[in-house]
Chains A and B, each alone.
Chain A
């Protein structure tokens, strides 16, 4: 099937998840594992970098919905960056931009987190 890769890296106090390939019902559990790990480590500030994501299905969207509440309750958030147009359209159609923050660049999202913790 379509391949999917997920990579986790830390930039300061922010965790950046790079998603790559096709995120659908079959590959969503991999992303869920990464989020579970973040919860275990009490890392609640998450930026998801979509620069290499080709496709996202409703199951993929569901992953973010499942974890965002916990992140926000712990003064964190899930922010999205570097979305291709076709991927952004899927988020947009569903109304994600009303509930989540989207950035052109990963750095902006990280900065946003840093500003928030300063104030």
Chain B
């Protein structure tokens, strides 16, 4: 922004300078119409040179914004050349009197000729500046020195004219400078690499334009050499230097456009190939941009097919992708789905088909049964979409013309097929990551449900201590434990494990909680309660899901526990230095909805003595695994309780937890761990 402003200021200043010097030149010419003396001529030439310089630098900055459109530069130069030609041609008829030196006294004639001189001056400078821009266009090397050398010799030629004022015979410096300038012009005329970057249409156009312009510049050059030409006389009389610059510029134009003509002519046969390469490169660039921006595969597939058809000089193109082992058409361009499907199947089933490379099928070479299918499509090319040696689909393109695909077109087709492969993979990875995110969210929800379902604190009593431990597995198992304050004397407690994991297990768990919350106060008998629970859960449990439960009721005064076990791991009772597993009969909830469940379910009663410890837990405890895939097991579990039985219930829980995590530190926890310990503290 700032730089632009600065440039604008600079440019305005350049224009200012040019105008000031032009006015000076104008006044000088007005005062000294005759400049026969060397000094006057020198001053006059210097002023003209300054005007040339300032106008040149102004136009240079003006043109620098046009470098990406060589055509407008060429056309501008051409229009000015035509203007010059027009003025020169008509000058002899219309203002021949101007050439007369005497008539310069006439103010109108003077104004007229000075206007023409300024027109020529600006035109010449503009043409030169245009040539300069064209010269630098698409040049990779620094060629400043060549152009600058030429400019220096232009200058030398310009001033060497003054020597003629001193001595008429002193013309060899002028001549030699002029010749060197021509040589340099010829060399610089060869810098036409920008032509290669034009498309074929532009090249044809340029061919025509350059013919005309070369002729035009040549004519101008020739006309200006005609000694009787009015314009020549006007300019030469005014400034011999300007005249020689004009000559050189016309020569430059003639040579330059001549070179352009021949170069374009030689470029024409390869123009189409060049165009296609350029199109391919720009298409690939567009695609690359798309791949990073567009996550919608359909949109991308449409782009791929349309670009493919375009770059491969084809009529139609379509993309086939594999989903669940089946090939399906993802996108079509200028062909119907039915046709595309038919042709794809035909090619893939053909004996000649080989999916390791791009293959072409030509009307002439296919068997007659295919030919009837291919009647609209004379030539087809197919490229595999390959990733890690696996074929994920195909990119196909077809022509209605009787022309086979060449190597270049096959290569482009494969390039686009590769792009389609990458974008397919991208789309797949994106989908997977979205799915993963969704699963993680689901896990979060499940964890949240589980956390809300479990009790916040354990019951407090003088007669017993309760401690509960819950360690969720990463995948969220279905463990649940709870306490129910049934009445003043009785405390209900439950430890359950819902089979399955994740959100479905969490929902069953929530239902189980609801059932126990509502039934525990209505049905005090643990066995009856579990039978009812089995009946209710029949509605919501899948055939392959089940729930294992231990439900018991503890009398807070007497230490009597009545409990029933439905498929759950046994209860551990530590009494004195004796430890035992209590496993009354009972099958898991959801295994049987007939009488089998009730018939098998037995209730058990124990009476807790002082310092007795009872443990309810989920299978996550004994089944915790170590690195060798061994179970934590009941022995370890029981020994820890036995050895620490004199400690407080919280201490025992902590020790158990430590031992468990130490044991399974090299193995990921795959199931929830739930542990509820009760220690009776009352002498009965």
Contact = CB atoms under 8 A, between A and B. Distances in A.
Q: Are these two chains actual partners, yes or no?
A: yes
Interface residues on A, range: 10 to 19
Contacts of A59: 499-500, 544
Contact of B585 (A63, A65, A95, A96): A95
A65 B585 CA distance: 19
Nearest to B498: A58
Contact of A94 (B500, B545, B546): B546
A38 interface: no
Contacts of B588: 94-95
B499 A95 contact: no
B453 interface: no
B592 A69 contact: no
A116 interface: no
Contacts, number: 59
Contacts of B544: 59, 62-63, 65-66
A98 B499 CA distance: 19
Contacts of A95: 566-567, 585-588, 591, 600
Contacts of A63: 544
B587 A61 contact: no
A99 B546 contact: no
The dominant DSSP class at the A interface is: helix
A98 B500 CA distance: 22
B546 A65 contact: yes
A94 B568 CA distance: 7
Interface residues of B, number: 25
Nearest to A65: B544
A93 B569 contact: yes
Interface string A26-58: 000000000000000000000000000000001
A65 B589 CA distance: 12
Interface residues of B, dominant DSSP: loop
B501 interface: yes
A72 B383 CA distance: 55
Given A94-B588, A95-B585, A61 B499 contact: yes
Nearest to B601: A95
B289 interface: no
Contact of B592 (A61, A62, A66, A99): A99
Interface string B566-592: 111110000000000001011110111
Most buried by A among B569, B586, B590, B591: B591
Given A94-B548, A99-B592, A65 B587 contact: no
B294 to A, nearest CB: 35
A15 to B, nearest CB: 20
22 contacts: A25-B501, A58-B499, A61-B499, A62-B499, A62-B544, A62-B546, A65-B544, A66-B542, A93-B570, A93-B583, A94-B591, A95-B566, A95-B567, A95-B585, A95-B586, A95-B587, A95-B588, A95-B591, A95-B600, A96-B587, A98-B592, A98-B596
Closest 8 CB pairs of A and B: A95-B587, A62-B544, A58-B499, A66-B544, A94-B567, A66-B543, A94-B588, A98-B600
Interface of A: 25, 58-59, 61-63, 65-66, 69, 93-96, 98-99
Given A93-B568, A94-B587, A99-B592, 10 more contacts: A58-B546, A59-B500, A59-B544, A62-B500, A65-B546, A65-B591, A93-B548, A94-B591, A95-B585, A96-B591
